[in-house]
Structure 1
Amino acid sequence: MPRKGMRSICFNPRTSSFALPARRALPGPAAAEADKVIESAALLIMKWNPDTSSYARVTSLFYESKREAAQFIACVSNLQKSMHALASASPVSDERLIHAQFLMEIAMKRLQKEFYQILSLNRAHLDPESVSARSSRTSARSSTSDYSDDGNGDEECAARDTITEVEEASTAAMSDLQSIAECMIASGYGKECVAIYKIIRKSIVDEGIYRLGVERMSASQAAKMDWDVLEMKVKNWLEAVKIAIRTLFTGERILCDHVFAASDTIRESVFSEISRDGAMLLFGFPELVARSKRSKEEKMFRLLDMYSAISENWPEIESIFAFESTSAVRSQAISSLARIGESAQAMLSEVEAAIQKDSPKSSPLVAGGGVHTLTVRVMNYLALLADYGSIVVDIFAVWQGPAKPSLPELYFDMSPESDDAPAVSLRLAWLILVLLCKLDGKAKRYKDVATSYLFLANNLQHVVSKVRASNLQDLLGEEWVAKHERKVKQFAGKYERLAWGQVFASLPEGSSPPPPSPAQAQERFRRFNTSFGEAYRKQGESVVPDPKLREEILGSVGGRLVQAYREFYEAHRPAIGKERNEGHFVRYAPEDLQNYLSELFCGTGGDLGSTSSTLSNRRLSWSR
């Protein structure tokens, strides 16, 4: 509050505040009553005059006798009323008025001293934590009753007694401060009272902010700071902001409202004065971090943590700093949120640019068509981003996608489809689309086309699985997931046709009579052995990390192939007869084929040297 406004409320007693023009003499009874009030006040006020009494100099009125302290406040109030009556009816030189003014100044010095002592000596009982706990005394007491009743009754009682003692001391001190403040303000000495309060309580707020580890820091200092150091400060701030809001500022607001309950203007001015610097320092820190040029991936999530801390506590911030004079604190918190949002938007654009710039030749081919590290890194990043739920919805509420995206035709039907979807959903879908297009370019580097489709199937399956297992599913929607699951099946199907088509083609269609001749049977077995051996050796290094996809491919390839081979085997093997070189033609029994296939997609290599008897006992879910 401006000083001018404060001066209009708290006038200086040493000015001619009571020097009003003489109007009329007090009637006899009124004059006698004024004399009686002044005389009575003089006895009590002079008793506690530290300038004339060594007892008053070393003793506290409010600690010595609450009853006498109340009498002191009452006599000062009565003295004030008598002074107003004398000032309106007597000349300024009236000896009674001069004496009353003298007594009032002594009384104010006494109350000023008491006010300072209560604030200073009760720092423990008037600390923000104790004060803020007063509004939840019931829950504090109930928490002590949660101790188990297993012989800890003494500890429970001690805890309850401690809480009660702290509450009682806090309540008594606040009541005393309130009565003194009201008396001094009513007597025209509010300025002195407020000055003491501001000095002591502001130091407590500033010390509290410092103890919470929030230090004053310039934008240039934040920009030059190593990320590891800055991140530690962010983590510390995340803990500090919760304590500061729920305890420090809440407690100070409660105390200030209570002590200066008599004047809304004064309590607003006082609270603004003691809290503004600490609050501006606290809520300005996230903006400094957001403005720093550090672009590590971890920064995004630290920014979102700070955004969440402010937004989740916004109702409390808005309530504590509701005064017009504390609007700068609210504005700073909002400014930090806005700056975090801008920085997060920029960082996500950097992620997209990094994906776009990733060269297909920047990393070696993934052995066996497995999952690329780019896929893992991007999806882990997006899944962590989605964990922030409504926060990312707020921050990425607006996004304009590229007007004419340059994408492979293969992915046109996988682009974000609904303009009605939340902007963050479109943004995340677009990033995944950019990733998939980049993976498409990497797939073309494989010399074996079948492996390139397996690579696409593996990577898209990883994307879908990551979406299914995270909050990305809520943001992208079930339709998006279903569409990409169908695309995985398409990639897997193309892989199967290209990798195993020749093997299926080597088996004759149907096995109806007439039965084949021995030469025909031998040639057909030889053709199958060759095509299966080549396919198996080529696909022996292939990997399918996802258990679900691996089971589906094995079920499709193995189930169909083993069944078709069994029919072929049963129809053609009798034609070869009991020749000594039968094993040269009939290299695999249906069970051997099943066991060989079961070893696929683990990247262990294709070894057709022999079949193990232990493998022949294996039963697979896809076998028929």
Structure 2
Amino acid sequence: MSTDTTDQDYQEIASSSSKNTAPGFSVDDLLTGSHTFRFDRYSRREGFEVGKYLVSDTFTAGGYEWAIALYPSGKKDQYIDYVSLYIRLESEETDVNAVFELMLVDQSGNGKHKIQTQFGRLQEKQPFLMRRRGSQWGFGQYIKKKHLKKLGYLKDDCLVVNCVVGVLASCTDKEIEQAPVSCISDMDQAVMMESCEDTKFLDLESAARVIIEFGAPAQLQGLVNDADRAKFDHYLNAVDEIQQSIKTGQVSDYEAHGTRAMKTLQLVFQGILDCSTSVNQSDTLSSTLDSSSMTSSYGYEQQGGHHASHHELSQEQVYRLCSIVQRLNKGGCLGDCIEVYRISRKSVVDARFLRFSIGRWSVNDLQGLDVEEFAAKIKLWIQVAQKCYHSIFPGERQYYEQIFDGVRAVSYDTCFLAIVEHVAVELNNFADAVSFITSFRKLFAVLDLYKALDVILPEIQKMFYTVASENICQGASNTITSLATLVRKLFSSFEDTVLNEQSNSPPPDGTIHSLTEYAMNYVTRLSQYKESVTDIITSRPTKSLGNQADEQFLEASDRTSSNLHMIWIMMSLKINLMSKSKVYEDSALRYLFIMNNVTYIIKTVKGSPELVEMIGKEYLSKLRKEVLQAAQDYYSSIWHRVLYCLRDDGLSNKFPFYNGISKNSLKDRFKTFNSTFEEVCQMQSTRLVLDVGLREELQKLILSKLLPVYKAFLEKYGSRVQSERGKERYIKYSSEDLEDKVKKLFSEH
């Protein structure tokens, strides 16, 4: 975007600030014009190499055409930390005398514009002589790059530059004297030196000799891969000189040299591209899919360096290709080079994709893979997709934008899209084939793919934004929708399996069932995908559990749909375990089985913060109560037999005139207690309670009921058999012995 002011507008401004102008050279002698230009999307230009510049629209001042030239990385190597800024003569006329002003606009609102001007001291200066088209006036060290944003000059990724040009109205009416050296400032000397360098062009004969010299095969190869930039630029200067002479029509004897130069540039263009497509067999998946390449959006294998890996273009190659395109385009000879570039870079992208070894996989192929193979294939796809959308595609787009910048014959669709479209479609096709998987065991890999594609989708939409590329964006979006549907389907299949699985019998020792381990490992992994699962599972459970209390709990809960489904899975697991416990003929073993498995569920949930958040403490408390109830049922099912032996009933003799304790009955009662206690302990010694906390709780429960009754029985009746011979046959256990024996139960020895 640019704005121009009239000569009169600026004359008024200049006159007001130049009252002391020397009478021999004043503002009245100048024809002035000004121009303001916005350099938009500046951050995309910061990676420019030294010497490459941006140029504004042309504008008119004093009857001549001018333009602003801005070098984001400096005009020369010694200016690499600076932005260089110049005014260029774009007219074909020669020997134009002018004075200049450059201003970098302060966009922060503080009004601290950076101005370099010749208008303020006209009496001390001479107009600058611009000898020919391409001559420049300006500053190699105009401003340090790091100060652009800090000082308010760079805003919204845009720089605004204003320039004023004053052309001396007549060089014949007023004689211009050469100012003495003492009157020229250091800045003026620097400007003059730089401008003189800019106007050092070859004469036509020298340019023609260079064109012929570099037509030789050895020299031609040097233009392709010689690291010496000076030689390449030397040849370009010769081409420019020949093109300029042909364009102006001043000399017609060099048209053959111009044609020869165009053919040479076409060959060099092809040669540079051929160098980038040479195949290196070591460029395999392991060497290209490294951690750094996964996160870089602009690196494209460190393309900013002077050297590049096979298949990438180095900074030097991009510079040469861009320089060639500019000259071929001016000469009307770009033609076939566009197709050459498109074919070359497409072959590069296709070759790299093929070496990643994803291949073409049908739905049947993917169905036939086992879980680990399928997961590995998904992981590979994610890595390749990240590589393509974070590195390869942006790199190719950057090449296209830099090399063909300003060339109307080349468009996004005909160049960049044609290069990468095939690979983008292949990536979509693979992801779409995954959406037909039927095994819930592959759910986690599907979630990985869904999550990765969901993250990449904005990059896809940003990369493919034209009507011609709409199928790529729409394909990726449709695949995400299909994957979400697949996740819900596989999730439902897992729920059904947990509720209805009947194939495995419970373990004979009442420990953890394989279904419990599998289901809890599964939901633990699911909790790692909490965000994705929450986004996908949006409806509450509707399947009946056949348990009114559980269904009422779900109905009353205000938790998210995905959380309720996770609770539903645990409820269905518990119901299935209850059904499996009926296989045990021993009721005590049945309750131990329930305690072991429900405790395993609780412990697994507590071991995962994500699961705790999804399940909630309320349901964990409900499970805990069920464990305690199972413990009470366990005690009642077997230990009540032991406690029954310590009753008072049946110990009294009932004779006329006498009602006392029968020693024989008491002895039998002690013996019955001993045998029953030992029998129960022997039976329970083969039972395992794997959780230490549950084991201790169960032991405490038994002792809390058994010890008080046993102590009371001993205290009440023990003395009656103490005097008997062989009393140890009746009172075999002290309270401490009883406690020690119970505490050895339920553990592996």
- TM norm structure 2: 0.61
Give the secondary structure class of the aligned counterpart of 2:483: helix
Kept in 2, the 8 Å contact 1:283–1:333? The answer is: yes
Report the Cα offset of residue 411 of structure 1: 3.8
Match of residue 503, structure 1, among 642, 662, 678: 642
Query: How do 1:558-597 and structure 2 match up within 5 A?
Result: 558-597=703-742
Q: Tell me which residue corresponds to 1:385.
A: 526
Kept in 1, the 8 Å contact 2:450–2:480? The answer is: yes
- Say whether residues 1:120 and 2:120 are aligned partners: no
Per-residue CA distance 1:557-590 (angstroms, 9 max, x = gap): 1344234423433443222122113123213222
For residues 77 and 330 of structure 1, do their structure 2 counterparts lie closer, same or farther at Cα, with a shift above 3 Å needed? farther
Report the Cα offset of residue 219 of structure 1: 4.0
For 2:562, give the aligned amino acid. V
- Say whether residues 1:109 and 2:263 are aligned partners: yes
For residues 45 and 474 of structure 1, do their structure 2 counterparts lie closer, same or farther at Cα, with a shift above 3 Å needed? farther
For 2:486, give the aligned amino acid. S
- Say whether residues 1:346 and 2:489 are aligned partners: yes
Tell me the distance in 2 between the aligned counterparts of 1:82 and 1:478.
86
Report the Cα offset of residue 209 of structure 1: 0.8
Identical aligned residues as a percent: 24
Q: Tell me which residue corresponds to 2:348.
A: 204
Q: Tell me which residue corresponds to 2:542.
A: 402
For residues 182 and 575 of structure 1, do their structure 2 counterparts lie closer, same or farther at Cα, with a shift above 3 Å needed? farther
Kept in 2, the 8 Å contact 1:515–1:575? The answer is: no
- Say whether residues 1:44 and 2:207 are aligned partners: yes
For 2:339, give the aligned amino acid. A
Report the Cα offset of residue 49 of structure 1: 5.8
Q: Tell me which residue corresponds to 2:620.
A: 481
Give the secondary structure class of the aligned counterpart of 1:48: helix
Kept in 1, the 8 Å contact 2:527–2:614? The answer is: yes
Tell me the distance in 1 between the aligned counterparts of 2:739 and 2:662.
27
- Say whether residues 1:358 and 2:501 are aligned partners: yes
Q: Which moved more, 1:545-554 or 1:230-239?
A: 230-239
Per-residue CA distance 1:71-94 (angstroms, 9 max, x = gap): 6546766777787777xxxxxxxx
Aligned-residue CA RMSD (Å): 4.4
For residues 485 and 60 of structure 1, do their structure 2 counterparts lie closer, same or farther at Cα, with a shift above 3 Å needed? same
Match of residue 307, structure 1, among 450, 453, 458: 450
Per-residue CA distance 1:391-429 (angstroms, 9 max, x = gap): 3223x33234226x24134644554642x4222212221
For residues 532 and 422 of structure 1, do their structure 2 counterparts lie closer, same or farther at Cα, with a shift above 3 Å needed? same
Give the secondary structure class of the aligned counterpart of 1:367: coil
Tell me the distance in 2 between the aligned counterparts of 1:230 and 1:568.
67
Give the secondary structure class of the aligned counterpart of 1:445: coil
Unmatched segments (≥5 aa) in structure 2: 1-90, 96-131, 134-200, 649-658
Give the secondary structure class of the aligned counterpart of 2:733: coil
Report the Cα offset of residue 205 of structure 1: 0.8
Kept in 2, the 8 Å contact 1:61–1:114? The answer is: yes
Report the Cα offset of residue 308 of structure 1: 3.2
Q: Tell me which residue corresponds to 2:381.
A: 237
Kept in 2, the 8 Å contact 1:61–1:68? The answer is: no
Tell me the distance in 2 between the aligned counterparts of 1:316 and 1:465.
41
Kept in 2, the 8 Å contact 1:517–1:575? The answer is: no
Per-residue CA distance 1:110-166 (angstroms, 9 max, x = gap): 2222222222235589999999899888x99xxxxxxxxxxxxxxxxxxxxx97766
Kept in 1, the 8 Å contact 2:509–2:686? The answer is: yes
Report the Cα offset of residue 200 of structure 1: 1.5
Tell me the distance in 1 between the aligned counterparts of 2:691 and 2:202.
96
Q: Tell me which residue corresponds to 2:573.
A: 435
Per-residue CA distance 1:582-607 (angstroms, 9 max, x = gap): 12321322222122212322478xxx
Match of residue 318, structure 2, among 170, 174, 182: 174
Report the Cα offset of residue 206 of structure 1: 0.9
Query: Higher Cα Rg: structure 1 or 2?
Result: 2
Q: Tell me which residue corresponds to 2:563.
A: 425
Give the secondary structure class of the aligned counterpart of 2:638: helix
Query: How do 1:132-171 and structure 2 match up within 5 A?
Result: 170-171=314-315
- Say whether residues 1:600 and 2:745 are aligned partners: yes
Match of residue 584, structure 2, among 426, 436, 446: 446
Report the Cα offset of residue 381 of structure 1: 1.7
Report the Cα offset of residue 353 of structure 1: 2.6
For 2:512, give the aligned amino acid. V
- Say whether residues 1:490 and 2:629 are aligned partners: yes
For residues 432 and 78 of structure 1, do their structure 2 counterparts lie closer, same or farther at Cα, with a shift above 3 Å needed? farther
For residues 432 and 105 of structure 1, do their structure 2 counterparts lie closer, same or farther at Cα, with a shift above 3 Å needed? farther
For residues 518 and 370 of structure 1, do their structure 2 counterparts lie closer, same or farther at Cα, with a shift above 3 Å needed? same
Match of residue 605, structure 2, among 445, 462, 467: 467
For 1:338, give the aligned amino acid. T
For 1:481, give the aligned amino acid. L
Greater fraction strand: 2
Tell me the distance in 2 between the aligned counterparts of 1:456 and 1:52.
89
Q: Tell me which residue corresponds to 2:418.
A: 273
For 1:286, give the aligned amino acid. A
Report the Cα offset of residue 109 of structure 1: 2.2
Kept in 2, the 8 Å contact 1:414–1:484? The answer is: no
Tell me the distance in 1 between the aligned counterparts of 2:217 and 2:670.
121
- TM norm structure 1: 0.72
Between the two structures, name the one with larger relative contact order (CA 8 Å, sep ≥ 6): 1
Matched length: 532
For 1:272, give the aligned amino acid. L
Match of residue 328, structure 1, among 471, 476, 483: 471
Greater fraction helix: 1
For 2:743, give the aligned amino acid. S
Per-residue CA distance 1:509-560 (angstroms, 9 max, x = gap): 9xxxx99775564355345335434533443433222222112111221344
Q: Which moved more, 1:188-197 or 1:257-266?
A: 257-266
Q: Tell me which residue corresponds to 1:535.
A: 680
Tell me the distance in 2 between the aligned counterparts of 1:492 and 1:427.
28
Tell me the distance in 2 between the aligned counterparts of 1:32 and 1:448.
111
For 1:376, give the aligned amino acid. E
Tell me the distance in 2 between the aligned counterparts of 1:134 and 1:459.
48
Tell me the distance in 1 between the aligned counterparts of 2:227 and 2:689.
84
Tell me the distance in 2 between the aligned counterparts of 1:385 and 1:134.
30
Q: Which moved more, 1:486-495 or 1:254-263?
A: 254-263
Give the secondary structure class of the aligned counterpart of 1:507: coil
Kept in 1, the 8 Å contact 2:545–2:572? The answer is: no
Tell me the distance in 1 between the aligned counterparts of 2:500 and 2:261.
79
Report the Cα offset of residue 372 of structure 1: 1.8
Tell me the distance in 2 between the aligned counterparts of 1:594 and 1:486.
26
For 1:449, give the aligned amino acid. S
